[in-house]
Structures are given as structure tokens and as C-alpha cells.
Structure 1
């Protein structure tokens, strides 16, 4: 019964269980029985007869056992075959290993044999080489001796000439070597017959060889044949060291042949460029561009020549060093000398600017070359870098060493300062000459009227004036204002009058009439502009910008150890030029003008503008010192920074003292002028006929005071600002307030006059309001209250005092002083009201 005779479920079971290894018959029957029970239980059919199926299973099991046995036999046979194969493989490996061992042993023996042969051969080779060298030397010596003998006997040597005429470079090289050796030999053989003659012949032949090689090199250079150039250069290097070919290579360059390439005269002859260089505010970028172009051109030429040198010469560094030395010694040095010679003939500023531009551009050129050589891997030992640095220093040290450059820098600063201050100095010299001339006229007039002055008086006066003009601050020691009395006072007023006349037409006096005589000496100066004597911002900025430019150059060109000392010299220059010869003169002039004001005629406060100009100049100078000069010594030399700080602060304090004293004099002058104007108030200004005035107007004195107050405010605004302006106006305002309060204690007022007084006080207060100083405006509230004391009706006096803060807090005796000036003080019960207030306020201070 075949397998396909079973039903589908049984076949599936058999196939399933066939995949199991070592499956026993018992296990199979159990599986079939279990599945059979399940099968019969799951079907609602009648029970089947199991016997046919059991027989079928038994047949199948027998067949499976047979197959299992066959497979086991096959596995056993295969295992035996594998074992036999492994044994055979091991036997083959052992045999092969023995064969390899034998081969290695034979190879070792062969290697030893080869080593022995090599040792024997090397010794033989050394002997052969030695013999070969000896043979070559003997041949060369034979040729050398024969050549010398031929020259000695026949005055020529055909062998050498044939070698030299050959077209093969090796023959020419051999000829050159032989000639060189013959030259050495001929100098040693002094006692040989015809020795001197032979030596001359050899020298001439050597000269011919050198000349021919140089001609070949020159021809090859012009045709750009680098191969021939290299052959000629190599032969000459072996023949005489190559110095001649190096000189030819360097000398034949256009830089060292054509004069126009050595020195470019086009820029030297360009007057427009040099005019800009001489101008402190000029733009000399065209000059800088020219030097940049020159440096770039030189670098391009050097790099091109470097490529040729590396291909032609055996040692390119040596040739390049010679070429660089010639470039610096001829091209750069000659060009710089031409520029500096031209600049020096123009001005110190042009000289230092030219030197600085040349210094910076050539330094950049040197740095760029060092970088290029490093990238080309030609400067392995830094020989070229050291040479470039040395040549750079050699070109500029003559202009910088021993402080020569900085001396030129100081000369440049002095020239720029003098040029910038030329009009200022001329204007003040004009003023000084005019005052001296006026002093001379006054002295002559005084001699006629009052007799001669004591010996030396006039000279002393001129000397004092001169000292004051040049910044002497000795007058600060005076604690009181100088009085314009006697002849000195007349002189001062005359000088001031003469200054006023300088603005009039030539030949006119202060009355507008033409004058003659000695006054003509003064009128010749009227062509000058009086504003030239002012400190102008552009003048100060020009001086300071020139110094900043000098500092920049100094930092780049001077030694670091000298920089702190130079910083101090820069500060000293400012203090001795701009400060002493400009700012101090203006401050002293303002101070003297503040002393010499005539309060009874007309006070002129225009000198306050001088203080403003001087203060602005000091501020600009201070900013320049902080930002430019202090960094020069900030870290390198703290002691020098302390010295500079002391110098600068001392000057600041001295200038501030002078300004404060001038402002103090101004305050005193203004208050004195206001006091004088108020003193001109007429007694009857506030006692007009009752009800005779329909429209109340301020008094004439009030009008004059208002005009003067307006002038004060205008002058102060043009000269001062910030806290300085406020403090000046406050000092004058408070002083004027006190004058007004004291002024109205002196005048009796009737009912109409009270209205005039109130109008005056109101005008004064409005004038103070226009000053826009809150403290002054508040201070005049007291004056307003005083005006109300004059205008209030008699029955309301006590009520006014109680309800007005400025009056309720006042002293009763002060109130009494004002009320006592009323015409109705004793008749309308004002005295009784004031007495009642005094009793009620017994706790107040009397």
C-alpha cells in the first residue's frame, strides 16, 4: 500500500512528522491515535473500522525504519571517508613543511654565498674606482703639463684652443678648468724658463675665455636663452667664482643703465603736488600713490628676475642679494634723495611728510618682499630677510639717527604754528605798536603840561604793557581793582579811545574830523582787520591737526624708547606756542580790559568774546592731549605721564584763575555801572505833581539801566554758555537786585511817584525775566513786593504785609525804611498799622 492510498489528513500527519528527527514508532502511533480520536469525535458520522488503517500504518512504519537504517549506513560511510581524507591532508602538510624547510636552508646558504661574493666585489670595485680616478688624474695631469709645456715652448696650445672652439659645453668646461689650473701652476713655477711670459699668455687666454663666456651670457640674456645662460654661468662660476657674470647680470638691467629709471624727475618737477605737500591741510595722496606705484613696480621686477636667477645660477640667493643691494643703493636711495632734496628746499613740513611717506612705503615694500621670498621657499636661512632689513635701515638711518628726524618735526610744527598764527600775531603787534605810539604821544604831551616824568617811568610803562601783552599774570596778585587815576588813568582811557578810533576812516579822530601830525603813524595800521586778533577755531584746529599728524609720524619712525620724551616736547610746544603766544595773550587782554572799564562813560563787554575763544581753544587742546599725546606714555612711561599731567594741569589752573578773575572784574564793573546809572536818578522823579501824569512811564534812569542790562545779556550770550553763563548772570542779577532794593530806600514818593517807581521795578523785573535765569527772577519777587508797599492804599498796608510772603518774613525796620518814603506815611495811619504789626509779631527778630 503506497503513501498516496491514505486520506488527506493522514498524509498531512505523515508529512508533518517526517520532519522530526529520531521519531519512534510508538510516538507515531500515539499521535495517530490522538488525531484519530479527535477526528472521530469531531464528525457526526458512524464509527469506522480501524484495522485497515492500522495495517496501513504498520506498513508505513516498516518502510520508515528501513529508510532510517539506510541513511544511518550512508552517514557512517561518509564519516569514515572524511576521517581518511583529513589523515591524508595532514600527511601532505607535513611533507610540504619538510620541503619548505629544505628550501629555506638552501636559500640561506645561497645568501651567504652572495654576501661573500658582494664583499669581494665591493673591495674590487673600490680598487677599480681608485684606479680609474688615478687614471683620470694622470690623464688630466698629463694634459695639463703638456698644455703648459706647449705654452711655454710654443707660446700657444692647440689642444686648449680646440676644446674652447668646440660646440660641446663639456669641452668648454674642461678647457676652463684646465686654464684655471694652469694659472695656478704658472704662479708656482717662478723659476722656470720663460715662466713670466707663459704666465702672461695664460692670463690673456683666461681673459679671452672669460670675455667669450660673458659675451655668450649677454647674447643669451638678450635672446632669453636660459640654457646657454646657465651653461655660461656655471662655467664662469667654476672658472673664477662667477663674480663677473653676476655683475653683468645685475648691471645690464634697465634700472641700472637708464638714468630715467634710476630717478623719476616727473614728480620732482610737479609744482602742484609739492604745493599740496607744503599745505598743512593739503591732500598729498598723489605723492603717496606715486611711491606705491614705484614700490609695486620694483617688486614685480624683482620677482621676475628671481625666476630667471633660479633657473640660471647655481646659488640663486647670492645673486639675488647682489641684485637687491643694487636696487636699494641706486633705485630707492637716489629716488628718495631727489624727493627729500626737493622737499627740504620748500619747507620742513614737506620734508617730514616726504620722509614719512618714503619710510612707510619702502617698509611695506620690504615686508612684501620678505613674504614673497618665504612663499617661494628661497629664503630658508633668513639671509634675504636680514639683508632687506639692513638695506632698509641703511637708506633711512642717516635721516633718523641722533634725533635728526624729530628735530625736523619740531621745525615743521614751529613753521605751521607761525604760519597759522601769522595774522593773529600781526594784529596784536599792530595793537602793541599803536599803544606804544600813543604812550609816546601821551608822554610828550604830559611833559609839556605837567613837567618831565621821573627817569625810567615811560620805559617802565612800555615794559609793563609788553609783559602784560605776552601773558604775564602778575596782576592776579592784586586783590583790588586798579584805579584809573592820574596820568596812568588818562593813558588807559586814551588807549581805549584810540582802539575805538581804529575802526574809523583813516585820518579821522573820534569826532569824525580829520587829524594830522603824529596820528598819521597810527592810521597806517587801519588796513588790518581787527578780527585777526581773535582766536579763530580754524587756526587752533590747524595747529592741533598738524601736531596729531606729527605724533602719528613720530610713533612710526622714532625708537620706542624716545617716544615718552617726544610726548613731553609736544606738550611743551603747545604750551610755548599756542598757549603762551596766543591763548595767554588773549586772556591777558581780556583781563586788562576788564580792569580798565570807564563806568561813567560806557562799559564795553565785548572782551567776554575773548574768554569764550580762549576757553574753546583750551578745550580743543585738552581733547587733543588726552586722545593723542597721553597714549604715547600711558603704559611705556608712567613717570613721564605724571610730568605731562602736572604741566598741563598747572596751565589749566593758571588759565582758569585768569578767567575767573576776569569774570569777577566783569561782575564788579557791571554792578558799578548799574550803581552809577541808578545814582543819576533825580530826587523829583518820584515826586511829580499829583495826578499830573495821565500815562505812567518808567523814568529815564530806568531806560538807561534796561539798555545796559540788555547789553550785558547779549554780551554774555555771545561769550559764555552753560554753568558759566548762569553763574555770571546770577552774580550780576543778585547784585542788581540788592542795588534796586537799596536804591528805593533813598527816594521819597507820592501817590503818582509810587506808580512811576512801581513801573521802574516792573521793567527791571521784566529785564531779569528775559535773562531766563530762574534764581534771578525769583530774587526780584522781593522788589515787586517793595513796589506794592509804595502803591498800596494806606488802610491796606498791614493786610498787604501779612498776606505777602516776601513782606511777612522781612525785618520790620526794613519795612519801615520803605514805608517812611511815602508822602502819606505819617498822615494816613500807616505808622499805627506798622506798630500794631510789630506788637503782634513780638516773636520775630527786630
Structure 2
């Protein structure tokens, strides 16, 4: 900048060229500070006077300064733009040069790849047939080159294998020469002494090959026949100085024993890697049979577990008594067998882990171990437990068998879920199959064919016959009804009853039955001891009646047998098994128990149909337990047994037919008892009505005082008392619809008797009162029964009959207007004309003109 002097003597702010580009391009350049600095330099620095002496401000120097700065900024901007343009030109040139370099390198790469492909094609053409065309694509050429490399690698591997085979063959020939010429195996022993597992594997393989060579080249050592020798070239057969077979077998035995000893030592110190190597080598000898056998035989479970499987079954007598008691809940598995099974579970879970680490063929080892555990340990103990149970009673054996199978089955499922060698995954298919097979083999002797269901049937027969022992004795001793049609029908039931009694006697007196079983059967039968003659046993009337608790016990025992059958026997055999149990139930409970009671009731009822005294109806209450027990039995059969046979349509239909036939037989006998009871009641009422005196309804006037005091005639009192007692007994024997039907039939029968009865007697005015009192008593007695509404309306007709003897002619005329059409019958709700005339005709005043006119007008 140039200096500019004003009139006041001011000078320029800055000298010329005092600014450069660096001043404005610095990072510390701030416009505000730059302007402030310019403003400060606008005043002289040596000014010392106060404000009053200061000269007026002159902006012109500043303006000039800013104009000069602006012009310099413009020149700087142009210089900056020129530099920027120069730099952009350099960048473009560098980019062009970079693109050219990349293109050049690309061409060189393509040339190199083309040269490589040409070389690859030339290599491939040397292996191909002459005249083949060259491949056109780069991918094809690359594939061809890859094939060449693979072929070269395969050839190298083949050469390496041939080299190794040649070395092995050379070593094998060397060993054969040694063993055949000198009877030694020095080279093989040297490898064996090195102790390396790989060398032992090689020794095993070479010794196996030497055995084959010996069998081929030294037939004398193997005792080959002349026929075999003739197949060989006679010139090649050389007589050996040493028996190569014995030498090789001794070496292999020694090698195998060393490996077994090493395996045992490793097992003792839990060296699983060494065990794995030994088991690998030993598998080449006899597929691991020796090492598996040694592992299992030396296992602590089989060495120390012999005592557990050979000790006698010494459970406390209370446990066995509970198993033998049919009314007690069955206890669990026998304690010693339970302990063994629990130990087996732990052993298998722990040892399977070790087996997997010690054997490459761990599944084979585990299968053998499982077989040994079940066949030697569990089977022996199971047989001892079941033999002990069999010596006690049939039920004890069945309960022990069921408990044992359930507990061992739970063991099988736990082992499958645990997985053993596959833990924590479930067990493999082979292991699962082995466990199932061992489970099946344990119990096949007890479940084959019909063995099991025969045992169940025999046990139930023993219990049923013992429970019904006194019952069958009582009914076998009671007096049967006289010969007749009903007696002939009951003959089959009597024979069945006798056979049941004989079977019970035979079981109680059998020499094959154990003391415990006899004691249980005696207790079930309600006998104190086995010393008395069973034919002289005293029985009471209570022993001959049906008992609902007895029936429940029988069904409970059967339900327990069904449960065992479902869990023990095959599902395919279930329909046949439940069919056998159904036959037993229908025979024991249906025929021997229920039908025998009904036969006894029918005999009692039939015997009283013609007696002159008042009938004994004590037999009638036996119908209620018979009906209840039949309902329970039918419900159990339909909801349990028949449903279990649904898989076999033929068996199910047969069971349904048998059940229907049995129920119909019981219902038919029940109806016979009730029908006979009605006959007994009607016969008694008929005989009692026959004792009615003719003067009962024609009293003299001097008897009027006594008649007023009496409520009814003796005949009416006797009949009503009997009918009331019959109604009470019937309500004890039946209920619901059955009682209603019985009461209705009885009421109708009595009604018919009374309706005809009052047509037979002359009635005077005073006797009409007695008739109404008797009829009222009859009606009140029958209305107390659970009869239906229609029958109740019919019974009420008797009241109308009573009125006909006491009302006057005008009232009779009024009632005659509501008579029904017909002559007689008395079965409707209206009196018929014939019945009306019959009753009115028995009035003493029937001859009066008024009544005669009434009768003529009807």
C-alpha cells in the first residue's frame, strides 16, 4: 500500500504490500480481529492530549485502505483460481495414467491366463486320444486341468499303496521264512516289544495273515485231508520242519493275553484311551469276544453280586400274609428283588458311560452286559421270589408276578429314557430292542399260551368257592320242593350247586395246598380250623341269604384279576382272557350265588301256595339283594369286560349273548318268585274270604250295639293285616317300578276278589254299615301301596259298591243314571248294569216296589 497524507497530516495505515495470501489463509485468521486491528491503527500512537484536543475523524484514509485491500483480494482470488485449475489438470492427468496402467495390467493378466490355459490344454492333449478337438471354453479347460491334478494325486496314492503293500508283503514273507525255517518270529516280536498300540495292531494283522499262509502252505500242521492236498501242486508242497500253526497260535494267544492284561490294568486305573486302543486291537482277533467276556466277568457287580442273587428270600411273614390275603391291598415288589433292580439301574447308567469311552463297538458290549445282567442276576432272583410266592398261595404268586413285572418294566422305561450310551438322548433302537427282549424272556415261562389266565381262573375259583362254602352247604341241605315241573327245572342248578360244594371241599382238603393257602381259604370260608369234617359243619339261616358285601368282594377280586391280565398278558389275548373271566363270573355269581337264592325263594313260595295257615313271607326280601347284585354284575360286565373285548368282534358277540342269557335267566326266576308270591297272597285271601259268615252282614237288632263298637269283620281284619305285612315285606324286597307293578297286580287281584265277594251275601240295613266299614278298610289298605293312578281309581269303585247297600231308593236311582254299558266285569271306573243289579239284589229290601221298579227300569 502507498502512504496517503491528508490535509491534517495523516499518514497511510499500512505500507504497500504489507499483506499476503498467508495472512488470510492462516487457521488463526479472524475477520473481527483483523478489522479491529485496522481501526486501532487509524489513530496516531503518540497522541497525548485529551478529547478536547482531538482532531475530527477523517474516513478517507480508511476508505482508501479498504479499496486497496479489496483490489488485492481480487488479485489473490484470481491467483487462487489459477492454482486450482492447475491442480485439477494434474488430477485428470493422474487419473488417465492410472486407467492406462490398469488396462496394461489387465492385458498382461489375460496373456498369462491364456498361456496357462494353453499349457493346460497341451497337458490334457497328451492323455487324450489323437484327433480329439480342443475344448473351446475356459471352464472346460479348467475342469480338464483339475481332472489331471486329481488323476496325478490318485496315481501317487496308488503308488504309495503299492509301495506299502510291497513293504508289508516283504515283511510278511520275511516273517513266514522265519517261522517256517527257524520256528521263530523275531521280527514280529521286535515290533511287539515296542509296546505301541499301532504296532500291536500291526502284529495282530500280520499274525492273522501268517495263519492263512500257514493253512495254505503247511497243510500238515492243519491236518488237511488227502483230497485237499490233491488240489495243490504236489511240487509246491514242502514238508516243514516246524509246526507253523502251533507257533502262530501261541504267538496270537500270547499277544491276545498281553492285550487283555493291558486292558485290565487300564480298567483298574480308569485309563479309557488305553482301553480303547486295546479293545480295537482285540476286535481283530475274535471280534472282541475275549475282551468283552473279560470285562463282564471281572465286573464287580457280577463278582460281588452273587450273594444278592443266591441268598434265600427272607421277607417278613407279614408281607407274605398281606400278599396272600385277597381282601388286603397287594404290597409292592419283594424287597430283595427291588434292591437288585435298583442296583442294576445305577450300574447300567454308570457303566454305559465307561463302555462308550472304552470300546469303539460300545453297543455290542452294552448288549452283552445287559443280557448278562438280566439272564444271570435278575432272572435268578425273580425265579427265587416267584418260587417262594408259589409255595404260599396262588394269589401270592400272581400278585408277586404282577408287582415284579411292573417294577422291572419301570426299570426298562427308565433305561430307555436315560439313553445309556446315548445319554442324554434316548436309547438307540438296538439297545431298546435288547431291553424289550430281555423283559419278554424273563416272563415268557409264566405267560406263554393260556398258562397265565388259567392261574387267574384257578385262583378266583378257589376264592369264590371258599367264600360261598357255607352258602352252598346251606342250600345243599335245605329241603327241596316236591317233585314237579319247577323241581325239574331246578335240577341243573342243584347239580351245579353240588359240584361247587364238592370243589370247595376238595380244595380245603387237598394235600397240594400249602398251609398258608389253606388258612386263607378257611378264613374266607368263615371256618376256624381244618380239623372238623366239612360235611358236618353247622350253618345258620344267615349263611343261606345273599350278601351284598360278599358280591362286592367277588367283584373286587375279579377287578384285580382283570387289571393284572391287562398289564401282564398280550393285548391280542385280552378278549379271550376276559371271556374266560366272564364265564367264571356268570357261573359263580350268576348261577351258584344269585340263582340258587332265587330257586330257594321260589321253592319257599311254591310250598305255601296251598297251605291253610297264614303264609310265611320271609323268603321275599331275598329278591332285593338278588336284583342289586345282578345290577352290579351286569354293570361290571358291560363297562369293563365287554369293552375290553371290542377288538375281537366274535368274542365280544359271544360274551354279549352269554350275558344276556344269564341276566334273562335271573329275571325269569325273579318274576317266577313274584308271580308265585301273588298266587300265595291271592290263595290266602280267597281262603280267608271263604270264612266270611253269612250273618256278618245280616246282624240282629240286639247286636247293633256290638256292631257299632266293632270296626270291621274278623275276615276283613285278617286279610288287611296280611296284606299290610305283605306290602311291608314287598317294600323290603323291591323298590321303584318293580314295587309299583307288584303292588298294582296285587291290588287288582284283591279288588276282583272283593268285587265278587260282596255279591254273595245278603245285606240288611245294619249289615250295610259293616260292608262299608270293611270296604273302607280294604280300600285304605290298598291305597297305602305304591299303585298307579288308574288302579287307585279302580280300587275306589269298592267304595261305590259299599254305598249301594246303605243308600235309599232315590239315591240308587240317581246312581243308576251313571252306569256303564254291559252286564258284569267290574274292571272299569264305572259300575256296569249287571254288577249294579247284582249288588242291589243282595239288599234285604230288594223286594220293595221302589227298588223293583228301579231294577226293572235299568
Scaled by the length of structure 1, the TM-score of the pair is: 0.71
Q: Give the length in aligned residue pairs.
A: 698
Give the alignment's Cα RMSD to 1 decimal. 4.6
Look up the match of 2:851.
834
The verdict on how the C-alpha distance between 1:547 and 1:769 changes in structure 2, with shifts beyond 3 A counting, is: same
One of 94, 101, 107 as aligned partner of 2:100: 94
2:297 pairs with 1:284: no
State how far apart, in whole Å, the 2-side matches of 1:819 and 1:118 are.
Answer: 135
Q: What do residues 389-439 of structure 1 show as CA deviations (whole Å, max 9, x unaligned)?
A: 3333333333333332233333233233323322322222232xx669xx9
Residues 293-335 of structure 1, C-alpha deviations (whole Å, 9 max, x = no match): 6545423321211111111112111111211211221223223
Structure 1: distance between partners of 2:207 and 2:157 = 32
1:764 aligns with 2:811: no
| Distance (whole Å) between structure 2 residues aligned to residue 272 and residue 606 of structure 1 | 44
Give 1:107-146 correspondences, 5 Å limit: 127=159, 130-131=162-163, 134-135=166-167, 138-139=170-171, 142=174, 145-146=177-178
Q: Does the 8 Å contact 1:748/1:823 carry over to 2?
A: yes
- 2:622 matched to 1:610? yes
Counterpart residue number, 2:835: 814
Evaluate the alpha carbon distance shift between residue 463 and residue 654 of structure 1 in structure 2; reply closer, same or farther with a 3 A threshold. Answer: closer
Deviation at 1:536, TM superposition (A): 1.9
Q: Matches of 1:725 and 1:755 in 2, distance apart?
A: 33
The structure 1 residue matched to 2:638, chosen from 626, 633, 638, is 626
Q: How far did 1:728 drift? A: 0.8
Pick from 343, 348, 368 the counterpart of residue 302 of structure 1: 348
1:663 aligned onto 2:674? yes
Select which of 336, 339, 349 maps to 2:385.
339
User: Gaps (5+ residues) in structure 2?
Assistant: 1-69, 124-144, 222-237, 498-532, 821-825
> 1:117 & 1:211 partners in 2: Cα distance?
48
Q: Which residue of 2 aligns with 1:469?
A: 494
Deviation track 1:758-786 (CA, whole Å, cap 9, x = no partner) reads 33222222222332435454333222233
Does the C-alpha gap of structure 1 residues 809 and 242 become closer, same or farther in structure 2, counting only changes over 3 Å? closer
For residues 124 and 705 of structure 1, the distance between their equivalents in structure 2, rounded to whole angstroms, comes to 125
Asked if structure 1 preserves the Cα contact closer than 8 Å seen for 2:819 and 2:832, the reply is no
Higher relative helix content: 1
* 8 Å CA contact retained: 1:685, 1:753: yes
More deviation, 547-556/584-593? 547-556
CA distance in structure 1 between the partners assigned to 2:366 and 2:90 by the alignment: 85
Contact kept, 8 Å, 1:471 with 1:587, in 2: the verdict is no
Matches within 5 A, 1:647-662: 647-662=658-673
Q: 1:139 to 1:661 in 2, by over 3 A?
A: closer
Whether the 8 Å CA contact 1:690–1:751 is kept in 2: the answer is no
In structure 2, the partner of 1:709 is 723
Q: Normalised by the size of structure 2, how large is the TM-score?
A: 0.70
- Go from structure 1 to structure 2 and tell me whether the alpha carbon gap of 1:792 and 1:125 turns closer, same or farther (over 3 Å shift): closer
2:598 touches 2:669 (CA, 8 Å); kept in 1?
yes
User: In the alignment, does 2:809 pair up with 1:788?
Assistant: no
Write out per-residue CA displacement over residues 796-820 of structure 1, whole angstroms, 9 at most, x where no aligned residue. 6546767999999423443344344
- Counterpart of 1:393 in structure 2 is 440
The residue number in structure 1 matching 2:761 is: 747
For the 8 Å contact 1:268–1:339, the answer to whether it is kept is: no
Instruction: Name the CA distance, whole Å, in 1 between partners of 2:336 and 2:212.
Output: 53
Find 1:237's aligned residue among 272, 283, 297: 283
Aligned with residue 746 of structure 2, among 722, 732, 741 = 732
> How far, CA to CA, are the matches of 1:793 and 1:264 in structure 2?
106
Counterpart-to-counterpart distance in 2, 1:589 and 1:675: 25
Q: Tell me: CA distance 1:648–1:88, structure 2 relative to 1, closer, same or farther (3 Å).
A: same
Residues 149 and 642 of structure 1: CA distance in aligned 2, closer, same or farther (over 3 Å): same
Q: Give the Cα separation in 2 of the matches to 1:212 and 1:131.
A: 31
1:700 pairs with one of 714, 724, 727: 714
Pair 1:290–1:735, CA change in 2 (3 A): farther
The 1:99–1:696 alpha-carbon spacing in structure 2 relative to 1, beyond 3 Å, is same
Following superposition, the deviation at residue 717 of structure 1 comes to 0.8
Counterpart position of 2:582: 571
Are positions 1:683 and 2:700 aligned together?
Answer: no
Rounded to whole Å, the distance in 2 between the matches of 1:102 and 1:233 is: 61
CA distance in 1, matches of 2:767, 2:685: 21
Residue 125 to residue 665, structure 1, CA distance change in 2 (3 Å): closer
Task: Sort the Cα spacing of 1:808 and 1:206 in 2 relative to 1 into closer, same or farther, 3 A.
Answer: closer
| Cα distance between partner residues in 2 of 1:587 and 1:784 | 38
Contact 2:694 2:761 in 1 (8 A): yes
Select 2:297's aligned residue among 251, 261, 265. Answer: 251
SS at match of 1:402: coil
Q: What are the residue-to-residue correspondences of 1:242-641 with 2, within 5 Å?
A: 242-258=288-304, 260=306, 263=309, 269-287=315-333, 294-373=340-419, 375-376=422-423, 382-431=429-478, 466-467=491-492, 469-470=494-495, 527-597=538-608, 598-634=610-646, 636-641=647-652
In structure 1, distance between residues paired with 2:449 and 2:737: 50
Structure 1, unaligned stretches of length 5 or more? 1-63, 440-456, 473-521
Give the Cα–Cα distance (whole angstroms) in 2 for the partners of residues 617 and 342 of structure 1. Answer: 37
Q: Is the 8 A contact 1:176 1:235 kept in 2?
A: yes
Pick one of 681, 685, 697 that aligns with 1:674.
685
